[in-house]
Structure 1
């Protein structure tokens, strides 16, 4: 399925501007329609002290948010005019109070592009994490690092454990992202898997899609999986990481950390994740 509809989370801060650069590149490559979106829930002041706020104060806070959204919209439109196709772009302001409003909207798009940081300090009420978007929207997400240079990725490193989320990420990479030239399949394991029947594995599938593909194995001490994956990205020269997004309980992540969360915190290349 070709890429025809992109949703770009855009809040106007420097982080989301790098994500928009990638979204514009994808728009041009695929002739896709690009929709920018700014989402903001209740401000902390409104959430914590709603019962004590007068109508005047509440209206003032709402007006300030509306004005901020208008400025963000104008910034988005200017960037699209400079580097994309304004005739195939639009902007929406999701000022809704439901936590799932943005993931729900994302389900109607082929791909979501967003920064690792959806908001600057002081605008945390407008922040949605990429891993949460992947888990709740059911759509592939590209999380773009702050220092993204604007080049479209061609060499993917696929973090492959054979599970459902990784298979979903592989399918999204093949069917949504055209222009992939090379894929390195990385498995973190103490010993390589038994050799499959000829062509009957993930590398064989990639070859059938006409891609240059190879497989590597790495070991990782307990708690070092993230480092092993990111080191492999650097060693192979990959310019995008493709992985499944995994859901853990809040208690487990607080106690042990989570690979998905840590990848988003430390990766210096775009990350395509699916769940």
Structure 2
């Protein structure tokens, strides 16, 4: 039945972290999950210290921003003080942020992460590639909460973007608990390389979802191949989607994360929560 049993939500010092936590809390309550909030930010870098003997100066790590930690902890306690959800607060204390979060996510069923807001100065202590690094590094699905607007309390209208790939299949399978509870599921195909073309592939997706108790499906014409990312987000708005489900495409190259065009567009510009899996 692919149940959700454990959710790991990333907390930081941004004001938007509360919307992220509350959505994770609602999911945990609906699916009877345990919820772990992990406060994970990068400690400040102190001025470099000159070393004797002409050796290169070495930067040193300072403490985590105490105001950010206090804000996140107070928000966690406020949001969950009267909640029936089994919850736990954890925090990193100087460990490598992304690597440590990925390691913790390996034993969670779902990560809840925040879309990066480049205009939010309070997010300075979260690595710029944190979301994509967590997705690619852990192999776990993530629910990415946009930095604007208020996520729907009930994720009842879901848009599934299908492509005949491992990543899309992982996203679809891991999202089944939410798809079964949805009132409407919209399906749309993107570029397809499967034998026979897109139509047979979409028929297989419909059959798969029906076998898993998902009903009320509506299929849409294929996305515009010239601008698939923009077309996907436009369709999500047109159907009133509360949630977008799709694969995350990318790889690491020379310490740089290289993402597919649709993935990059959605991570940067989505205005609804996105369920992604690599």
TM-score range, shorter-chain basis? 0.7 to 0.9
3-state SS, counterpart of residue 107 of structure 2: coil
- The change in CA–CA distance for 1:217 and 1:177 in structure 2 (over 3 A counts) is closer
Using the TM superposition, give the Cα deviation of residue 156 of structure 1 relative to its aligned residue in structure 2, in angstroms.
1.4
| Counterpart for residue 216 of structure 1 | 220
Give structure 1 stretches of 5+ with no counterpart.
Answer: none
- Quick one: distance in 2 between partners of 1:105 and 1:118? 24
- Quick one: distance in 1 between partners of 2:259 and 2:22? 34
- Quick one: distance in 2 between partners of 1:250 and 1:176? 33
| Counterpart for residue 126 of structure 2 | 126
- Quick one: distance in 1 between partners of 2:198 and 2:141? 30
- The change in CA–CA distance for 1:255 and 1:200 in structure 2 (over 3 A counts) is closer
Give structure 2 stretches of 5+ with no counterpart.
Answer: 52-59
| Counterpart for residue 250 of structure 2 | 247
Comparing 120-129 and 149-158, the one that deviates more: 120-129
- Quick one: distance in 1 between partners of 2:269 and 2:191? 21
Between Structure 1 and Structure 2, which shows a larger proportion of helix residues?
1
- The change in CA–CA distance for 1:182 and 1:52 in structure 2 (over 3 A counts) is farther
- Quick one: distance in 1 between partners of 2:258 and 2:76? 39
- Quick one: distance in 2 between partners of 1:67 and 1:12? 8
- Quick one: distance in 2 between partners of 1:37 and 1:14? 16
Using the TM superposition, give the Cα deviation of residue 236 of structure 1 relative to its aligned residue in structure 2, in angstroms.
2.2
Aligned residues: 261
Q: Out of 169, 181, 184, which is 2:186 matched to? A: 184
CA deviation profile, 1:56-99 (whole Å, cap 9, x unmatched): xx79x42x6356424422221111115x336x111111121364
- Quick one: distance in 2 between partners of 1:81 and 1:118? 28
Q: Does the 8 Å contact 2:230/2:265 carry over to 1? A: no
| Counterpart for residue 151 of structure 1 | 153
Q: Out of 267, 270, 273, which is 1:270 matched to? A: 273
- Quick one: distance in 2 between partners of 1:163 and 1:240? 20
- Quick one: distance in 1 between partners of 2:157 and 2:69? 36
Q: Does the 8 Å contact 2:151/2:242 carry over to 1? A: no
- The change in CA–CA distance for 1:106 and 1:225 in structure 2 (over 3 A counts) is same
- The change in CA–CA distance for 1:149 and 1:200 in structure 2 (over 3 A counts) is closer
Q: Out of 85, 88, 91, which is 2:89 matched to? A: 91
Q: How does 1:218-237 map to 2 (within 5 A)?
A: 218-222=222-226, 224-237=227-240
Structure ranking higher on relative contact order (CA contacts 8 Å, 6+ apart): 1
Q: How does 1:42-61 map to 2 (within 5 A)?
A: 42-43=43-44, 45-46=45-46, 49-52=47-50, 61=62
| Counterpart for residue 5 of structure 1 | 6
Q: RMSD of the TM alignment (CA)?
A: 3.2
Q: Does the 8 Å contact 2:13/2:68 carry over to 1? A: no
| Counterpart for residue 32 of structure 1 | 33
- Quick one: distance in 2 between partners of 1:40 and 1:163? 33
- Quick one: distance in 2 between partners of 1:265 and 1:65? 26
CA deviation profile, 1:144-170 (whole Å, cap 9, x unmatched): 113124412122111111111000000
3-state SS, counterpart of residue 90 of structure 1: strand
Q: Does the 8 Å contact 1:2/1:176 carry over to 2? A: no
| Counterpart for residue 54 of structure 2 | none
- The change in CA–CA distance for 1:195 and 1:112 in structure 2 (over 3 A counts) is closer
Q: Does the 8 Å contact 2:98/2:134 carry over to 1? A: no
| Counterpart for residue 107 of structure 2 | 108
- Quick one: distance in 2 between partners of 1:105 and 1:18? 22
